[in-house]
């Protein structure tokens, strides 16, 4: 979660705008998967292609948004330690969904694939979820990344942010010919580390507070337009329509600026946002599980390509909302089960054991 300093009470308070942004980012990821894995994105042509890629021009930045949030929300001007218990809970969550869905789908289909089942029992090493596998080293490096950012002056942090921007810009256009920094289109822990640093540096410098909301919206519209036009002019290339695109990163930062300034005063709305936000990672784990994806999403939305142009955004949003809502309900149930089983307390005890072990080593 993101926290902002309450100078009057000398403590940190939750920024629910960031929680809302996390929800929106995950909804955008679901929408992207409906279009991509669902098969519609490959089948569209004519005016349907134009409309569909206008949607993609906005939502393709969602993974970048989620990664930048982790750096922005995780950075504080405080001494940071590794909280292994957080990773233990995350890993258990990943393991349960990976194994549970693999067994369930194989039982329903009546086929037993031992290789796929073994992969399910090793979610990180077998890359059952590419994002979690790539995020794992970022998690363990995060205390040192935060310490690095903390020790920078504001000016140095801005220079560092500028250098990273140049690096991303170079990767955007160099990526047309080759992958100089081995970013693999953004599907790598190096890319997630870069975005984590971007989020932390933005928090450190406070530059989001220095830009007017009107200018930010102009940037948002400009990035979407560039992404869209590039795909219309050069359909075979993903210069701007890839995770490592400079426009996708700037778009993610601009959206972060908008949502970070949203103030939510109603307590019951805060509770709803907090609950749904806590389930967003579960939404990813459920709907993008390999077994679930192959059974319920892959090529199940080809019909979108044959809708009227005005119907495409309507039905895509409806389909994404249904998937998102079902996954939220399931993960909230998983959260209740974890609390009943006191997984949090158990993971804290494991954390102390690990710290003691590492200390002796």
126 vs 60, higher pLDDT: 60
Tokens 């390999």 sit on residue:
290
How far apart, in whole angstroms, are the C-alpha atoms of residue 25 and residue 45? 27
What single-letter DSSP state applies at residue 128? S
How far apart, in whole angstroms, are the C-alpha atoms of residue 55 and residue 60? 8
Tokens 């908008």 sit on residue:
258
Highest averaged pLDDT of the listed ranges 73-77, 134-138, 344-348: 134-138
Length in residues, the chain: 361
Q: Which of 22-36, 137-151, 340-354 has the lowest mean pLDDT?
A: 340-354
What number of other Cβ atoms are within 10 A of residue 118's Cβ?
A: 11
82 vs 186, higher pLDDT: 186
At 44-62, the pLDDT tens digits run 999 999 999 999 999 999 9
Q: Which of 18-27, 178-187, 342-351 has the lowest mean pLDDT?
A: 342-351
* Cα 103 to the center of its chain, rounded Å: 27
> Which CA distances in Å does 124 have to 128, 171, 345?
7, 27, 23
Query: What is the signed CA dihedral for 203, 166, 134, 27, rounded to 10 degrees?
Result: 60
At 232-278, the pLDDT tens digits run 999 988 899 999 999 999 999 999 999 999 999 899 999 999 999 99
How far apart, in whole angstroms, are the C-alpha atoms of residue 226 and residue 203? 27
Q: Is 96 exposed, middle or buried (0-12, 13-18, 19+ CB in 10 A)?
A: middle
pTM: 0.92
Confidence band for 177, pLDDT divided at 50, 70 and 90: confident
Q: If you average pLDDT over residues 166-187, what whole number do you get?
A: 88
What number of other Cβ atoms are within 10 A of residue 264's Cβ?
A: 15
Highest averaged pLDDT of the listed ranges 112-126, 171-185, 264-278: 264-278
Q: If you average pLDDT over residues 134-138, what whole number do you get?
A: 95
How far apart, in whole angstroms, are the C-alpha atoms of residue 157 and residue 202? 8
Confidence band for 179, pLDDT divided at 50, 70 and 90: confident
Give the pLDDT of residue 80.
64
237 CB-near residues (< 8 Å, 6+ apart): 176, 230
Of 89, 201, 203, nearest to 139 by C-alpha is: 89
Rg over CA atoms, the chain: 21
Q: If you average pLDDT over residues 222-235, what whole number do you get?
A: 95
Residue 93 in tokens: 């969550």
Give the pLDDT of residue 86.
87
At 297-325, the pLDDT tens digits run 999 999 999 999 999 999 999 999 999 99
211 vs 21, higher pLDDT: 21
At 180-202, the pLDDT tens digits run 888 989 999 999 999 999 999 99
DSSP string, 37-66: TTSHHHH--HHHHHHHHHHHHHHTTHHHHH
Give the pLDDT of residue 8.
38
How far apart, in whole angstroms, are the C-alpha atoms of residue 102 and residue 286? 11
What single-letter DSSP state applies at residue 100? H
> Which CA distances in Å does 121 have to 3, 89, 99, 186, 354?
35, 16, 6, 25, 22
């Amino acid at each position: 979660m993101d926290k902002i300093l309450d100078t009057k009470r000398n403590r940190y308070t939750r920024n629910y705008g960031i929680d809302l942004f996390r929800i929106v980012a995950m909804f955008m990821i679901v929408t992207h998967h409906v279009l991509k894995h669902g098969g519609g994105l490959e089948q569209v042509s004519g005016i349907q292609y134009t409309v569909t890629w206008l949607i993609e021009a906005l939502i393709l930045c969602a993974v970048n948004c989620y990664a930048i949030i982790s750096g922005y929300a995780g950075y504080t001007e405080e001494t940071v330690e590794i909280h292994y218990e957080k990773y233990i809970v995350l890993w258990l969550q990943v393991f349960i969904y990976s194994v549970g869905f693999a067994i369930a789908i194989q039982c329903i289909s009546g086929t037993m694939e031992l290789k796929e089942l073994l992969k399910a029992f090793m979610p990180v090493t077998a890359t059952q979820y590419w994002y979690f596998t790539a995020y794992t080293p970022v998690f363990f490096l995060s205390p040192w990344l935060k310490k690095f950012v903390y020790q920078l002056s504001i000016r140095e942090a801005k220079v560092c942010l500028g250098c990273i921007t140049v690096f991303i810009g170079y990767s955007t256009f160099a990526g047309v010919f080759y992958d100089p920094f081995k970013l693999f289109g953004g599907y790598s822990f190096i890319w997630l580390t870069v975005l984590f640093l971007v989020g932390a540096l933005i928090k450190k410098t406070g530059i989001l507070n220095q830009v007017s909301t009107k200018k930010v919206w102009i940037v948002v519209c400009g990035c979407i337009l560039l992404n869209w036009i590039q795909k219309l002019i050069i359909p075979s290339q993903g210069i701007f329509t890839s995770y490592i695109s400079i426009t996708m990163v700037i778009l993610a930062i601009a959206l972060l600026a908008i949502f970070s300034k949203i103030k939510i005063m109603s307590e019951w709305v805060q509770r709803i946002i907090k609950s749904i936000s806590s389930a967003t990672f579960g939404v990813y784990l459920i709907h993008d599980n390999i077994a679930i994806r192959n059974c319920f999403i892959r090529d199940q939305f080809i019909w979108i390509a044959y809708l009227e142009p005005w119907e495409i955004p309507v039905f895509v949003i409806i389909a994404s909302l249904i998937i998102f809502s079902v996954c939220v309900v399931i993960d909230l149930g998983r959260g209740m089960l974890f609390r009943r089983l006191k997984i949090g307390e158990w993971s804290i005890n494991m954390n102390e054991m690990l710290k003691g072990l590492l200390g002796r080593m």
